[in-house]
Structure 1
Amino acid sequence: MSSVLGVSLGAGAVRVARPQTANPADTPAFDSRGAHAFSGAPNPFGPGNDSGRGQRPFAGPDAFDIQAVPTGDRRVEELAADAIGALVAADPRIAATAISYRDEQHARALRAELARRQVTNYELVPDVIAALEFLEYSGDLAQHLPGPGFGTVALYDLGASGLSVTVLDTATRQICFSERTSDISGDYLDALIREQQIASGRIAHPEGHDGLIELDALCRTAKEQLSSSSAVALPSPEGLVLLSQENFEALIMLAVESSARMARDVILRSEQPVQAVAVIGGCAQIPLVARVLRRWLGVPVVVPSAPETVAARGAALLARPVQQRPAAAPFPAAADDLQLPPDPSPSWLAGPGAVEKFSRRREVSIAGVTVAALVVVAAIGVTLGWGPQVLQHDSQSSDAATTSPSATSTHPAATTTAAASPTTDVTNESLAAPPPRYDPTTTTTAPPPPGPNTITIIPGLPPVVVPTLPPLFPPAAPPGN
């Protein structure tokens, strides 16, 4: 037989709820959505079919095993993670765990603590959604709503650390408006009792921080007992805590009315027709709270049994194993698994000798271009009649350049430079064209002296002497011959 857990985190205690099944042989079933198959409960964050609500195989809304662990001086997220890890390790029958959270910061801190303890089979649900789930399951709101799964309710959650008022659409599970304040809280009411007892002279002011904490705990106990009795008398080392319910209500009246005014403002700002108000949290058991809310709001006020455990019991109803959730989209493959494209750089660019090889290829390419240019120039010269001079001049220049000793010293210098350069600059140097070589010792044919027939066809090349062509027709003979 499997089981589920519901966990709620409060400022004063961490509460764990485990529902009891009507038949010990029953095993909670889950459908393809991860929801309870016997309840038809939809995803808590969206609408769904509510026809099967209330048909769970649990013994009833009050049949829950509740465990409360006081926080003390520990962080509530750390305490909750320890409690969940211990329960899951001790009972392998626990198939799912749901934890209610107040806000995103609260959820992030809780995830970090659970990850540190390697707890994975859990899910987080908003505390207002968990509370609404239990209120619908218990039927506390059914008589005040227009129909099953329809209507708008306000949740008045007064706990140890503050007050939260939230307006919810029961059909869509959407939060219409929400507000939280720490001006009124359970701790604030405890402080009012403490100061009143010290001011009356029955209690001496405790010495030290530890004595103050003990007195606050005693005042909290008196507040809880006044929810069901007319007076309390609790002894302490500093004296007797003596308080009647009438005096207690007069002491907290202004604070409760302030909270009712805040709830009314939240409902007005939500612009929703609220059919009922549900009062939850530890301070919901104070009878004055419900009476003041009814007078200020003018709508039905519902106080469920054990209101401080509503969020934990609702989380248990929403618990589902993480294995039943839809599989998440796969992440991109890791960098080691990716097939990287081949390196676009040719293999001959790697290595110390790459510069020299590439320089030689560039030299051959430049030489080919030069020869082609000379062929074109020679063809033009033949056409104009000065081809022999150009070809003869180029032959002499080429011979002189080839036999020049400075030309043979170019490659050793380039090789030495390439070998001494860093490896990271090999590619850049190989892509750069070699600098032009200048040889001052190369002998060239002296250009012809300038004259009327000397013409420079291409700048940079020697001028060309155009031969004087004979006249096409001989001159006429002088008269008289």
Structure 2
Amino acid sequence: MSVVSVATNGQRMSSVLGVSVGAGAVRVARPLAGNSARRGTVQPQAADAFDVQTVSVDDRRVEELAADAIGAILSADQRITATAIAFRDEQHARAIRAELARRQFTDYELVPDVAAALEFLEFSGELQGFSTVALYDLGASGLSVTVVDTGTRQVSYSERTSDISGDYLDSLIREQQIASGRIAHPPDAAGLAALDALCRTAKEQLSENSAVALPSTEGLVLLSQENFEALIMLAVESSARMARDVILRSEQPVQAVALIGGCAQIPLVARVLRRWLGVPVLVPANPETVATRGAAILARPVRQRPAPTPFTSAFENSLPPQHESVPPLLSSAGAEKFSRRREVSIAGVAVGALVVVAAIGVSLGWGPQVLEHDSQSSDAGTTSAVPTTTKPATETTTVVPTTTDATNESLAAPPPRRETTTTTEAPPPPGPNTITIIPGLPPVIVPTLPPLFPPPGG
């Protein structure tokens, strides 16, 4: 685990700690003694007054390295009372949180890396005079472009891609060096990783030199600025096209673009973005540590932490889920499905009851009358006359509603009772073939069957 310290100046550190967890490195930052790490208290020329340490990622998980670095610093300096860790997205935050929970670390806060970067850029005076900016963050694992309002902290639009990244640029250098014949292809994965690290170093040195020559066990890595820019031009232009599309989709008047991340130091990136976007392009000093230093500015002890900054548009998913007042099974969609299932169940019960009644009617000899009544009630006409027995001149008219309305009304409430004076004829006297099956119902007359064989002598 290699550690690189920046801007220590032999001074004592303060009591807050900022951390950024990247794919290629873990960085920690503490303001130097005398700086309160609050916006407006440090002049722009003193914005680099932070102690920054970089832990290079090896074959271990980056979350483990971050937890090790935080634990080592907290053990060495008991005065640190607040720690803020910048995260990229919710999946990233969950991985960090899980590793810290395993180590039983609790006194920390997670902040979006966009919020941390914006905080430092305003702290250092880089964004003075700009109300809406686009953050172009090109790091080892990918590119993120975010349009944000500097006053309200509102994110209008954000997009991320892994099609262009620092690792991808390193692979372009590696393949170009192997194709040139100066470098032999490594025989194993370890040799390939060592060659990638050498190409990464060459890329970083080209930000300050016109050419680099780095020896390796496989040969000499030789790269000039001109060859490097020709090699990555298509990828950089593709990233500029993406930044332009994000700005257009945000529908906001972006006034400047701020470059952060390790690859922001490549001079070609700033030149291409200026040409494509036509707005000022800001490149702060040490752009790879902007989020780390911003996290140190945002770090507060638990009792002093303000309400979280409302980065609602891009970081809604980063917040922990809140308890809803309505359980998921009784939400609007769930309640609607439950209501529909209940309606279907009630209709099924009604249909089943009708089937049972019809079956009893058929068994009692009412089949023709029931079927005839059903066929009449299902006709288009809605009026049927029910004659009475004693008063043929006066008829009771019953309005039969349509099928849907009748069903709904029958389920909603029973129809009002109407008193109708009717006179029923007395049932015929029971004969020898009359059988009463159910008391209270009309008797069933069994027909007389002819004998099977004629009487003798007939």
Q: Of the candidates 321, 328, 341, which is equivalent to residue 301 of structure 2?
A: 321
Match of 1:251 in 2: 231
SS in 1 for 2:81: strand
Which string of whole-angstrom CA distances, capped at 9 and with x for unpartnered residues, describes residues 239-267 of structure 1?
11111100100000000000000000000
Deviates more, 1:196-205 or 1:76-85: 76-85
Query: Is the counterpart of residue 134 in structure 1 residue 120 in structure 2?
Result: yes
Tell me how many residue pairs correspond in the alignment: 297
Q: Is 1:198 matched up with 2:178?
A: yes
Q: What is the CA–CA distance in structure 1 between the aligned matches of 2:113 and 2:25, rounded to whole Å?
A: 15
Give the conservation status (yes or no) of the 8 Å contact 1:21–1:57.
no
Say which SS state the counterpart of residue 254 (structure 2) adopts: coil
Change (3 A) 1:87 1:154: same
**Deviation sequence 1:201-243 (CA, Å, 0-9, x none):** 1111110000000100110010001111000111111111111
Alignment check: 8 A CA contact 1:98 1:125 kept = yes
Please report the RMSD computed on the Cα atoms of aligned residues, expressed in angstroms: 2.1
Amino acid in the other structure paired with 1:21: A
- Structure 1 CA distance for aligned equivalents of residues 26 and 304 of structure 2: 27
The answer to whether residue 109 in structure 2 is matched with residue 123 in structure 1 is yes
Deviation at 1:305, TM superposition (A): 0.1
CA distance in 1, matches of 2:137, 2:306: 33
Same amino acid, percent of matched pairs: 80
Q: How does 1:60-139 map to 2 (within 5 A)?
A: 60-139=46-125
Distance in 2 of aligned mates of 1:241 and 1:281? 24
TM-aligned CA distance change 1:324 to 1:57, over 3 Å: farther
Whether 1:235 and 2:215 are equivalent positions in the alignment is: yes
Amino acid of the structure 2 residue aligned with 1:106: H
Asked if the contact 1:7/1:16 (under 8 Å) is kept, the reply is yes
Q: TM-score, length-normalised on structure 1?
A: 0.60
Paired position in structure 2 for 1:452: none
Deviation at 1:60? 2.4
- 8 A contact 1:22–1:59 mirrored in 2: no
Kindly report which structure 2 residues correspond to 1:42-441, keeping only aligned pairs within 5 A, or say none: 53-56=39-42, 60-142=46-128, 144-145=129-130, 151-325=131-305
Quick one: which amino acid aligns to residue 154 of structure 1? A
1:17 alignment partner, one of 25, 29, 46: 29
Runs of 4+ off more than 2 Å: 56-60, 323-327
Larger Cα-atom Rg: 1
Code of the aligned partner of 1:10: G
Pair 1:180–1:216, CA change in 2 (3 A): same
Distance 1:165 1:60 in 2: 27
- Cα gap change, 1:2/1:234 in structure 2, threshold over 3 Å: closer, same or farther? closer
8 A Cα contact 2:173 2:199, kept in partner: yes
Are residues 278 and 322 of structure 1, via their aligned partners in 2, closer, same or farther at CA, if it must alter by over 3 Å? same
CA distance in 2, matches of 1:326, 1:295: 40
Q: What letter corresponds to residue 88 of structure 1 in structure 2? A: L
Q: Secondary structure at the match of 1:278?
A: strand
CA distance 1:57–1:97, change in 2 (3 Å) = farther
Q: 2 CA distance for matches of 1:255 and 1:5? A: 35
Partner of 2:17: 5
The letter of the residue matching 2:140 is: A
Distance, in Å, in 2 between the alignment partners of 1:79 and 1:275 is 38
Verify the 8 A CA contact 1:2 1:95 in the aligned structure 2: no
SS in 2 for 1:94: coil
Q: Deviations over 1:47-81 (max 9, x none)?
A: xxxxxx41259992111111000111111112111
Which secondary structure does the structure 2 equivalent of 1:189 belong to?
helix
2:84 is paired with a residue of what secondary structure? Answer: strand
Partner AA of 1:251 in structure 2? L
Q: For the Cα contact (< 8 Å) 1:156–1:163, is it kept in 2?
A: yes
State the Cα distance separating 1:126 from its structure 2 match: 0.2
Amino acid of the structure 2 residue aligned with 1:189: L
Runs of 5+ consecutive residues of structure 1 not aligned to the other structure? 29-35, 40-52, 146-150, 328-481
Aligned-partner Cα distance in 1 for 2:192–2:118 = 37
The change in CA–CA distance for 1:121 and 1:60 in structure 2 (over 3 A counts) is farther
Q: Deviations over 1:139-171 (max 9, x none)?
A: 1121x42xxxxx111000000000000001111
What TM-score, normalized by structure 2, do the two folds share? 0.63
Q: Partner amino acid for 1:19?
A: P
Amino acid at match of 2:33: T
* CA shift in 2, pair 1:277/1:115, >3 Å: same
Distance 2:50 2:305 in 1: 25
AA at the equivalent of 1:185: S
Cα offset, 1:2, TM superposition: 4.9
Distance 1:326 1:196 in 2: 51
Seen in structure 2, the aligned counterparts of structure 1 residues 137 and 240 have a Cα distance that, compared at 3 Å, is same
Q: Deviations over 1:309-340 (max 9, x none)?
A: 0000000000001133489xxxxxxxxxxxxx
2:14 touches 2:30 (CA, 8 Å); kept in 1?
Answer: no
